[in-house]
Structure 1
Amino acid sequence: MEEKHMANFFKGLYAKLNTTLGFFVLVTALFWLKTYIAYRTKFTLGVETPIQQFILALNPLPTALLLFGIALYFRGKLAYWLMLIIDALQSIWLFANILYYREFSDFLSVGIVKGSGSVDNNLGKSLAGILHGTDLLVFLDILVLIILLLVKVIKVDKRPIKKRFAATMTIFSVALMMVDYGMSVKDRSGLLTRTFDNNYIVKYLGLNEYAAFNAYQTHQQASGRSHASKADLKSVQQYLKENPAGENFQYFGKEQGKNVFVFHLESFQQFLVDYKWKGQEVTPNINAFYHDQNTIGFDNFFHQVAQGKTSDAETMLENSLYGLPTGSAMISYGTGNTFQAAPAIMAQHGYTTAAMHGDVPSFWNRGNTYKSWGYENFFSKSFYPNADKPSYNVGYGLKDKIFLRDSVNYLQKLPQPFYAKVITVTNHYPYLLGKKDADFPQTNTGDNTVDGYVVTAHYLDQAFGQFINYLKKTNLYDNSMIVVYGDHYGISNNHRPAIAKLLGKKKVTNYDLAMFQKVPFMIHAPGVQGGINHTYGGEIDALPTMMDLLGIRTTGNYMMLGQDLLSTQRNQIVPFRDGNFVTPQFTKVGGQVYDTATGKLMNLSANQKERVGDDQDHVNKVLSLSDKIMTKDLLRFYTPTGFKKVDVGDYDYSVKATKARLKREQEENPTSVQSKNNGKSTVKDFQTDAPELAKEK
């Protein structure tokens, strides 16, 4: 009897498969299964919690039902072949992303697909090396279904599906999509408005939804560009003409030809400099660097980031253009826009350029943006041994001590002079370190988020000190301009009681919070007379300051909205991305204006109101001009004298190509640290107490 029931069950199942609806269910189920398997085995999406596991399993289904459901509006063979064609197209997209992700740790975008040179990046040339046999399994279901149809194991049902049912399936798929989106946004707020990694969109919404969102972004950008012309640059040029910073006679060209290090202090605020807790300096190495006789330290330097945070800081540092009011310029415009950024400028002045970061290149779209900026080398996570070990990582990438130790392997191979940006990540929210790494006492503000901040800052300081010691041992310290900056706040204004305790105040005002946005900016070089500079400035001013020191004239040539911090004629207005600002006289926060010198709330006179109004007009204008440059891609209409436009197709950040290039460059131009050390590695000169590396000693 049981065997008869089983036989009847399979007979009934087979009969259902021989209906259009049965075939639809089968195609959808197989596509969902292979997509989910690909998510888990071919990509690194960082799924952590049970709800994220559920969302990942759900997200291939809504668009599968929607797209395959198109075939339900048709009948007979047409419906069947439509489902197979749709399956094939989606599978080709999945397959292409598997290959691209394996090489570049990111997903294909419309901008990359349209720019064939960018897509190639050795991908086509080395397809055999990239392709894994299991990748082809994404087409297996299509092949099996075609065979089953051809041999008529599955027979075509010629009966039409009721249009009402087809419409219901379409509505259901859209509703399911909304459910997926709602759950995703609840788990990851600002998923689409503050996008910083394509992995997150695919993890939460799916590969097809990512493609649709990327197409929408591309359309929005194209729309802005299509209405732009060279005439739009006139307002920018007029602004720059009317707001000159003046010459910097004392320092211009003082560091010409020197190596340049840009050391990126993650989430590091100025108040940490010289700050003590329980009688101990939180950052003794950074303090010593700040007060060195050959370091210019700026104590009124502010971050100016918005939602883009680190990416905004990088955009300002490398371009002297502001980030966007919402989202990230690196994400939205980094792939397709024209830039005249620091790496390209430096490369065209004889420098080797490199960026180093112990995370995946998809984060903040660095893998594409850095090409647009003209970085010749980008050493990301795949370049670092043991980078996938959980114990070597914390938060957003490799622990700083490990990252810096392993970075010198590439630094020593760069032909000199070089321009190298080193991005640390350990001092990042939520400020967590294991007991082996944490050797500094937490603060006692009672705020769990804040109290770990000094611990990770101290760890960063130790890593910085170890890096500086390496530079001294290899003579790089005496032949380099070292720029150290904090990218943005580490403690947000939402933690007012804790901030008050850290600052030794009963409570903090809006003025205090504005001053809390100061971050370090220091420039060290042997030929510089050090000291604390009190000028007011921000991240927008970093690039023209560095260029002037290196003897690269930018005034009157480059579209940079910042001003040299060492010029005595600068306006000292520091715009914030929300429209507030700080000057030596006024600190404006919303409708309140404070005396910057005393911190007291002001009752403005008529004359003061006029001055504040003029400053506000200036802030509004410069932010508007920056947005205009970015969203309309205006730099494509202007090429500075002596500057060659960047071609993103010239850059290949794959491990194989990078190592081959470095080897070739060392042979052709033996000026690297390793070449000058008779070909011997200097990695052992980097001394670290990282417990994970203790076994190597």
Structure 2
Amino acid sequence: MSNHIKQGNNRFLNSRMGFFLLVLFLFWAKTYFAYQTEFTLGAKGALQQFLLVVNPIPAGILLFGIGLYFRGRLAYWFMLIMDLIQSIWLFANIVYYREFSDFLTFGIIKGSGDVQNNLGKSLAEIIHPIDFVVFLDVIVLVGLLIFKVIKIDKRPYKFWNAFALTVLSFVLMFGEYNIANADRSGLLTRSFDNNYIVKYLGMNEYAAFNAYQTEKESQTRAKAKASDLDSVLKYLKKNRTKNNIEYYGKEKGKNVFIIHLESFQQFLIDYKVDGKEVTPNINRFYHDQHTVSFDNFYHQVAQGKTSDAEMMLENSLFGLPQGSAMVSYGTQNTYEAAPAILAQKGYTTAAFHGDVPSFWNRENTYKSWGYQYFFDSSYFKEKPSYSVGYGLKDKIFFKDAANYIQQLPQPFYAKLITLTNHYPYILDKQNQSFPATKTGDDTVDPYVQTAHYLDQAFGEFINYLKKTGLYDNSVVVAYGDHYGISNNHRPAIAQLLHKKSINSYDLAQFQKVPFMIHGSNLQGKIDHTYGGEIDVLPTLLHILGIKDNNKIQFGQDLLSTNRKQIVAFRNGDFVTPKYTSVGSTVYLTKTCKKITPNAKQKKRLEAIQNHVNTELSLSDRVVQGDLLRFYDPKGFVKVNKRDYNYKPSAGLASLKERNAKEHTSLVDENGGKSTMGDYKTDAPELK
């Protein structure tokens, strides 16, 4: 009986289909082994784990199945060569991922040796012996054929059987994509993290999608020319605003904090639930006598959401109509971003984020923007209880970030990205200290709880700044990046706004987010001017006394007295002090009355719409054509991305070396002693 089974197995392996299935199995095994041991894909729940297990199979069937169309030895050699190519691709990604926590892109491979230059260490230090296990199956298969343990099946294989496997591979890919997209909507259109694409679809599907993206971007970039800037410069010259002498240069030379309030909407300011303020600390900051706060400030993001907000905040360039500019154009493009501008004015520039560096392609984009340091999750102590949702809980994040902030040579520009107030607004019971709302919408009701937690963390951080003296010696900017509650929750939104029902006007106004600038030399006020995230950079630069007349920025200083006050949304809608345009419907902004425009109003609305369309299209032209590579404004030196290495070992060594020369950090001011004793938090995880 056992001999009979053994003979049957031999006959099967000596058939072309048997060899195909063996190659497929070994390819699946090494790929899944790499998923589990070399990559941090964050597969959570049964569905994601299932997709992670099966995602190598559809592409494997397609690629190795091509060999079944050939005859004799050619079929076997094709499958082996295809397996070798797969092994090289897997090996290269393992090595690159170890250094950058991200997957290789064809843009990086094509980028004049950027891969080698980015790898920072010698390959001998990066490569581990275990990495070569991905080639083991190729060696074994070649040996089995050479020593004729497996004999080549010279019989012709039926074309329709091979074709059926090809069809099956595409059916499986399509089914896999639909399941994945149901779990993570906009998986390819938003493409916020390469880890997600690999986790859901697989290494080969990621490679195909990235190749498509790279080719599309390359074609646009290749067709761009320096003269394309002419219309951009003409538009910007026409729309420049004058400096407001009351505020220009008032905070010159001070540190800058950008505090990114995740998913934080304007309605939360002074909002109460059961008579209790949701955000008492942020409310005090908002109303402070030295804080300029804007109550008609809108987010302007599209699919890129947080990445769009960062793009506008630091570049005064719009995000893209689809996808994320940081993901698609963050690595290769040239920028004139806030970190680079301030670094060339003597600032130390650093970003802080309690998640993996690959999310939204920050690892590469921040280098393009000129960030000297990027303190991502690898810099922070991690325990399961320390994280929720998309990364470190805010109270722990702010405290851990403060340890590095005290080491930054002053003046510095520091951006801190919070995470806890992120959809789906999950917070463990030990951190819940605020009642949920009672709209009956399970997505909406816990939103105030995570917002309250963010507020507590914000308050603890501000207290630390005050105790150490940083508060008076810094400009503190706090802003909401985008909506927290989407328009899909209309009944709940109506309850939150204490209305019976809401319309398109209400939803447009619901897109307001807070924007606040605090400085000890500023005369605080609630400013009613209309603006958005595209306006942040010129506003900040003017307060710091930095001229930007020769920079390509589509925003206008919010404190200028001759602003147009036209807020453009990414879909072409707009808000002005007089009109709110949503699709084909127009409202009077002050009264929320829906109108049918008369001839005079139509003419004005057409002019505004033309301005919005022009602004959006010209910004897209700059980003998609990488036009800033052709532009050399006086006093600005283009960023050299090779100057930066964000790995903790390199980053901390650089920081130590710089402090040894400059002696301007908070620790230096404190006689070489840490100031962390001044940081007080009630985070239960740290007790």
Give 1:152 deviation, angstroms.
2.6
Q: Distance in 2 between matches of 1:497 and 1:47?
A: 33
Letter in 1 for 2:643: D
1:561 to 554, 562, 575: 554
Matching residue of 2:132: 136
Give 1:159 deviation, angstroms.
3.6
2:446 to 452, 455, 460: 452
Alignment map for 1:267-286 (pairs within 5 Å): 267-286=263-282
1:365-394: CA deviation from partner (whole Å, max 9, x where unpaired): 1111111111111111111112xx221111
Matched, 1:634 2:617: no
2:70 to 71, 74, 84: 74
1:657 to 650, 667, 677: 650
Matched, 1:320 2:316: yes
Matching residue of 1:604: 597
CA spacing shift, 1:552–1:124, aligned 2, 3 Å: closer
Q: Contact between 1:595 and 1:602, CA under 8 Å: does it hold in 2?
A: yes
* Unmatched runs of 5 consecutive residues or more in structure 1: none
Q: Distance in 1 between matches of 2:185 and 2:263?
A: 20
Matched, 1:16 2:43: no
Give 1:648 deviation, angstroms.
1.6
Matching residue of 1:248: 244
Matched, 1:85 2:81: yes
Q: Distance in 2 between matches of 1:124 and 1:337?
A: 21
Q: Contact between 2:118 and 2:642, CA under 8 Å: does it hold in 1?
A: no
2:484 to 455, 476, 490: 490
Q: Contact between 1:75 and 1:160, CA under 8 Å: does it hold in 2?
A: yes
Give 1:189 deviation, angstroms.
2.2
Letter in 1 for 2:417: I
Give 1:525 deviation, angstroms.
0.8
Q: Contact between 2:243 and 2:542, CA under 8 Å: does it hold in 1?
A: no
- Name the SS for the 1:298 alignment partner: strand
Letter in 2 for 1:567: S
1:615-664: CA deviation from partner (whole Å, max 9, x where unpaired): 11111111111111111111111121111111222211111111111111
2:666 to 666, 669, 673: 673
1:321-350: CA deviation from partner (whole Å, max 9, x where unpaired): 111111111111111211111111111111
1:389-416: CA deviation from partner (whole Å, max 9, x where unpaired): 2211111110000011111111111111
**Percent identity (aligned):** 64
Q: Contact between 1:358 and 1:380, CA under 8 Å: does it hold in 2?
A: yes
Q: Distance in 2 between matches of 1:319 and 1:130?
A: 34
Matching residue of 2:413: 419
Letter in 1 for 2:44: E
Q: After the TM superposition, which parts of structure 1 deviate over 6 Å for at least 4 consecutive aligned residues?
A: none
Tell me the TM-score normalized by structure 2: 0.97
Alignment map for 1:571-582 (pairs within 5 Å): 571-582=564-575
Letter in 2 for 1:399: K
Between 595-604 and 641-650, report the one with greater CA deviation.
Answer: 595-604
Tell me the TM-score normalized by structure 1: 0.96
- Name the SS for the 2:595 alignment partner: coil
Q: Distance in 2 between matches of 1:332 and 1:55?
A: 25
Give 1:117 deviation, angstroms.
5.3
Q: Distance in 1 between matches of 2:120 and 2:496?
A: 55
Give 1:120 deviation, angstroms.
3.3
1:367 to 363, 366, 369: 363
Matching residue of 1:289: 285
Letter in 1 for 2:232: V
Alignment map for 1:318-357 (pairs within 5 Å): 318-357=314-353
Q: Distance in 2 between matches of 1:299 and 1:177?
A: 48
Give 1:116 deviation, angstroms.
5.1
Letter in 2 for 1:245: T
Between 437-446 and 51-60, report the one with greater CA deviation.
Answer: 51-60
Give 1:37 deviation, angstroms.
1.9
Alignment map for 1:175-190 (pairs within 5 Å): 175-190=171-186
Letter in 1 for 2:83: D
Matching residue of 1:203: 199
Between 239-248 and 216-225, report the one with greater CA deviation.
Answer: 239-248
Q: Contact between 1:121 and 1:652, CA under 8 Å: does it hold in 2?
A: no
Q: Distance in 2 between matches of 1:122 and 1:633?
A: 21
- Name the SS for the 2:256 alignment partner: strand
Letter in 1 for 2:420: T
- Name the SS for the 1:349 alignment partner: coil
Q: Distance in 2 between matches of 1:440 and 1:572?
A: 37
Q: Contact between 1:579 and 1:619, CA under 8 Å: does it hold in 2?
A: yes
Matched, 1:47 2:62: no
Matching residue of 2:218: 222
Matched, 1:507 2:501: yes
2:614 to 603, 613, 621: 621
Q: Contact between 2:296 and 2:530, CA under 8 Å: does it hold in 1?
A: yes
Letter in 2 for 1:408: A
Q: Distance in 2 between matches of 1:549 and 1:247?
A: 9
Matching residue of 2:457: 463
Between 603-612 and 306-315, report the one with greater CA deviation.
Answer: 603-612
- Name the SS for the 1:535 alignment partner: strand
Letter in 1 for 2:427: L
1:217-236: CA deviation from partner (whole Å, max 9, x where unpaired): 01111111122111111111
Q: Distance in 1 between matches of 2:313 and 2:87?
A: 41
Give 1:514 deviation, angstroms.
1.4
Q: Contact between 1:194 and 1:327, CA under 8 Å: does it hold in 2?
A: yes
Q: Contact between 1:338 and 1:372, CA under 8 Å: does it hold in 2?
A: yes
Q: Distance in 2 between matches of 1:43 and 1:382?
A: 14
Matching residue of 1:38: 34
- Name the SS for the 1:484 alignment partner: strand
Q: Contact between 1:117 and 1:649, CA under 8 Å: does it hold in 2?
A: no
Q: Contact between 1:97 and 1:108, CA under 8 Å: does it hold in 2?
A: yes
Matching residue of 2:2: 6
Letter in 1 for 2:625: K
Matching residue of 1:592: 585
Q: Distance in 2 between matches of 1:459 and 1:580?
A: 33
Matching residue of 1:302: 298
Letter in 2 for 1:357: H
Q: Distance in 2 between matches of 1:596 and 1:210?
A: 45
- Name the SS for the 2:391 alignment partner: coil
Letter in 2 for 1:268: F
1:454-496: CA deviation from partner (whole Å, max 9, x where unpaired): 1111100000001011111111111111111000111112222
Q: Contact between 1:19 and 1:157, CA under 8 Å: does it hold in 2?
A: yes
Q: Distance in 1 between matches of 2:440 and 2:312?
A: 35
Q: Contact between 1:117 and 1:648, CA under 8 Å: does it hold in 2?
A: no
Q: Distance in 2 between matches of 1:452 and 1:76?
A: 64
Letter in 1 for 2:635: G
- Name the SS for the 1:536 alignment partner: strand
Give 1:519 deviation, angstroms.
0.6
Q: Distance in 1 between matches of 2:521 and 2:423?
A: 37
1:286-333: CA deviation from partner (whole Å, max 9, x where unpaired): 111111111111111111111111111000001101111111111111
Matched, 1:395 2:389: yes
Between 93-102 and 652-661, report the one with greater CA deviation.
Answer: 93-102
* Unmatched runs of 5 consecutive residues or more in structure 2: none
Give 1:122 deviation, angstroms.
5.8
Letter in 2 for 1:331: V
Letter in 2 for 1:643: F
- Name the SS for the 2:593 alignment partner: coil
CA spacing shift, 1:194–1:291, aligned 2, 3 Å: same
Q: Contact between 2:120 and 2:645, CA under 8 Å: does it hold in 1?
A: no
